[in-house]
């Protein structure tokens, strides 16, 4: 089976227009801002005029307030289209509070390629970039996607699930540094305990940072310590205590021990802070997600659980007009592949220009659904039997899952596996053998 066929589904095709949006208002003027850390350069063209006005504004809330107020007074609070190189950031946050400004984010790579098309020397200036952004906004606005913020609750959920992932990644990075330092002078910890980022290991290293200090502790003291950390397996506890007594130091070099011990102390405290922060974020995410009307849809998805269901919900959002079809959602998220063809050559590859966190969310969910959904496991196994690699098969499965989720999301109905299997049988799609294998279980 070719890769292009893996993602083929009923009615699936590359969209020939941007994601659906509400009809734009009659703009009084078009503005482009080339943002910077200190000073933003802007270009403006009033509707119906060719003349371009240029200027600069400081990157402070006070300066932006004056800047926005002067356009509000000049154009009588009529709507203005604003192009900028951010879809999220401090400038977007400052401009979003002005209702008359309609933001059109432009990808930095889009501007860079547009600049290169007209200036092959690759000369660059902030003022020129503002003019190019203005030209993109005025002449190619139909290819840009106007920023339409979701509800406050949904955007908060999106920020929080992304923050959680960042903290988890940071905890992993610190855990790796901790592991590297322990290998230098105290490698036994990595054998005695499975998770070096756990509270048990952290508290042990803070109390006994070296093997020599740990071996001085009395057996009764160690037993009480393990009991206080919910180590109820007495046999395993005795085994650990015996291993501590018979352990041999990895090194006697004081320079190595002192330096590594300092790093371990810092890493343990960092992990403790990150662990508590992750717990707090998970509590906030759960509270926000469970209050949403769509929670019943996402909690019904096989394999989603408390971690992935809020991520899936924030990826889809609450605006049902955001996508006109499942294929638009698949392409935007990055699950749908990209086909490149030139002459007699054509090939299909995964989509790179997409929100990576959202693509990873659907990829992880598809993988987690395999042990919880009969037809998903059967489909994945069939692809693997045909020689497809794990991630290729998971992306193909995620492609199908997104079509199902899109319909559930549009209809505001939770997922029901029997309904999907009945739909497959009714349409006689090429999964009948998989359906039969599921029904025989």
Residue 439 has pLDDT above 50, yes or no: no
Residue 245 has pLDDT above 90, yes or no: yes
Q: What is the pLDDT of residue 22?
A: 65
Report the C-alpha gap between 186 and 196 in whole angstroms.
12
Q: What is the pLDDT of residue 338?
A: 83
DSSP per-residue codes, 307-342: HHHHHHHHHH-S-TTS-SSHHHHHHHHT-S-EEEEE
Contact by Cβ (8 Å): 42, 126? no
Residue 2 has pLDDT above 80, yes or no: no
CATH of the domain at 255: 1.10.287
Calculate the alpha carbon distances from 258 to 111, 201, 209, 210, 245 in Å: 52, 19, 10, 10, 22
Q: What is the pLDDT of residue 316?
A: 94
CATH of the domain at 112: 3.30.420
Quick one: 178 and 128 in the same domain?
no
Quick one: 432 and 364 in the same domain?
yes
For residue 167, give the H/E element and its range.
helix 152-185
Domain membership of residue 299 (yes or no) is: no
Residue 10 has pLDDT above 80, yes or no: no
Domain membership of residue 127 (yes or no) is: yes
Quick one: 174 and 242 in the same domain?
yes
Quick one: 42 and 89 in the same domain?
yes
Contact by Cβ (8 Å): 131, 32? yes
Domain membership of residue 6 (yes or no) is: no
Residue 441: pLDDT band with limits 50, 70, 90: very low
Q: Among all chains, which residue has been given the structure tokens 């054509």?
A: 346
299 backbone dihedrals φ, ψ, rounded to 5°: -75, -15
Domain membership of residue 160 (yes or no) is: yes
Report the C-alpha gap between 393 and 339 in whole angstroms.
18
The pLDDT tens digits of the residues spanning 302-360 come to: 999 999 999 999 999 999 888 889 999 999 899 988 888 887 788 788 888 788 999 99
Domain count, the chain: 3
Contact by Cβ (8 Å): 388, 396? yes
Quick one: 136 and 191 in the same domain?
no
Contact by Cβ (8 Å): 349, 14? no
The pLDDT tens digits of the residues spanning 161-202 come to: 999 999 999 999 999 999 999 999 999 999 999 999 999 999
Domain membership of residue 238 (yes or no) is: yes
Q: What is the pLDDT of residue 353?
A: 78
The pLDDT tens digits of the residues spanning 118-174 come to: 888 777 888 899 999 999 999 999 888 888 888 999 999 999 999 999 999 999 999
Q: Is 385 helix (H, G, I), strand (E, B) or coil?
A: helix
Contact by Cβ (8 Å): 265, 209? yes
Q: Which of 263, 287, 311 is the last residue of a domain?
A: 287
Quick one: 140 and 167 in the same domain?
no
Quick one: 132 and 35 in the same domain?
yes
For residue 384, give the H/E element and its range.
helix 374-385
Model-level pTM?
0.82
Q: What is the pLDDT of residue 394?
A: 95
Report the C-alpha gap between 130 and 85 in whole angstroms.
10
Q: Which of 147, 166, 185 is the last residue of a domain?
A: 147
Count of Cβ atoms closer than 10 Å to residue 428 Cβ: 8
Quick one: 96 and 183 in the same domain?
no
Quick one: 49 and 134 in the same domain?
yes
Count of Cβ atoms closer than 10 Å to residue 316 Cβ: 24
Could you list the residue range(s) of the whole structural domain that residue 237 is in?
Answer: 156-287
Residue 435, both tokens: 């359906």
Quick one: 209 and 280 in the same domain?
yes
Q: Which of 287, 302, 333 is the last residue of a domain?
A: 287
Residue 13: pLDDT band with limits 50, 70, 90: very low
Contact by Cβ (8 Å): 154, 217? no
Contact by Cβ (8 Å): 33, 160? no
Share of the chain above pLDDT 90, in %: 67
Mean pLDDT on 250-261:
95
More confident residue, 434 or 127: 127
* 3-state helix vs strand vs coil in the chain, percent to 5: 60, 10, 30
The pLDDT tens digits of the residues spanning 33-43 come to: 998 888 999 99
Calculate the alpha carbon distances from 41 to 44, 47, 65, 106 in Å: 10, 20, 16, 15
Quick one: 160 and 107 in the same domain?
no
DSSP per-residue codes, 339-398: EEEETTEEEEE---SS-HHHHHHHHHHHHHHGGG-HHHHHHHHHHHHTT--HHHHHHHHH
Quick one: 264 and 336 in the same domain?
no
Residue 436 has pLDDT above 60, yes or no: no
Residue 28 has pLDDT above 90, yes or no: yes
């Amino acid at each position: 089976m070719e890769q292009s066929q893996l993602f083929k589904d009923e009615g699936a095709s590359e969209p020939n227009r941007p994601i659906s949006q509400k009809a734009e208002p009659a703009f009084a003027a078009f503005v482009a801002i080339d943002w910077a850390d200190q000073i933003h350069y802007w270009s403006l063209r009033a509707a119906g005029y060719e003349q371009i006005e240029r200027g600069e504004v400081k990157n402070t809330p006070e300066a932006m307030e004056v800047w926005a107020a002067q356009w509000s007074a000049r154009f009588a609070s009529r709507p203005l289209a604003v192009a900028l190189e951010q879809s999220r950031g401090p400038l977007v946050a400052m401009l979003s509070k002005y209702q008359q400004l309609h933001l059109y984010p432009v990808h930095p790579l889009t501007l860079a390629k547009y600049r290169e098309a007209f200036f092959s020397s690759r000369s660059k200036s902030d003022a020129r970039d503002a003019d190019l952004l203005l030209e993109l906004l005025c002449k190619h606005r139909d290819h840009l996607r106007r920023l339409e913020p979701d509800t406050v609750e949904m955007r908060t959920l999106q920020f929080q699930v992304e923050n959680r992932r960042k903290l988890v990644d940071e905890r992993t990075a610190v855990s790796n540094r901790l592991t590297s330092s322990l290998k230098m002078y105290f490698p036994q910890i990595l054998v005695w305990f499975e998770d070096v980022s756990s509270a048990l290991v952290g508290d042990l290293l803070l109390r006994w940072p070296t093997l020599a200090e740990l071996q001085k502790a009395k057996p009764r003291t160690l037993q009480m310590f393990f009991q206080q950390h919910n180590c109820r397996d007495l046999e395993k506890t005795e085994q650990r205590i015996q291993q501590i007594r018979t352990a041999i130091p990895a090194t006697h070099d004081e320079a190595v021990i002192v330096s590594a011990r300092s790093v371990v102390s810092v890493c343990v405290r960092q992990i403790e802070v990150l662990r508590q922060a992750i717990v707090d974020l998970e509590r906030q995410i759960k509270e926000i997600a469970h209050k949403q009307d769509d929670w019943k849809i996402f909690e019904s998805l096989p394999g989603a659980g408390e971690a992935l269901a809020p991520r899936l919900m924030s990826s889809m959002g609450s605006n049902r007009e955001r996508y006109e079809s499942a294929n638009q959602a698949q392409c935007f998220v990055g699950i749908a592949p990209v086909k490149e063809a030139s002459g007699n050559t054509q090939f299909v590859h995964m989509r790179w220009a997409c929100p990576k966190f959202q693509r990873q969310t659907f990829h992880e969910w598809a993988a987690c659904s395999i042990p919880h959904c009969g037809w998903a496991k059967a489909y994945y196994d069939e692809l693997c039997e045909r020689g497809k690699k794990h991630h290729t098969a998971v992306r193909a499965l995620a492609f199908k899952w997104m079509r199902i989720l899109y319909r559930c999301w549009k209809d505001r109905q939770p997922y029901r596996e029997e309904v999907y299997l009945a739909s497959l049988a009714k349409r006689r799609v090429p999964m009948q053998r998989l359906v039969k294998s599921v029904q025989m279980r």
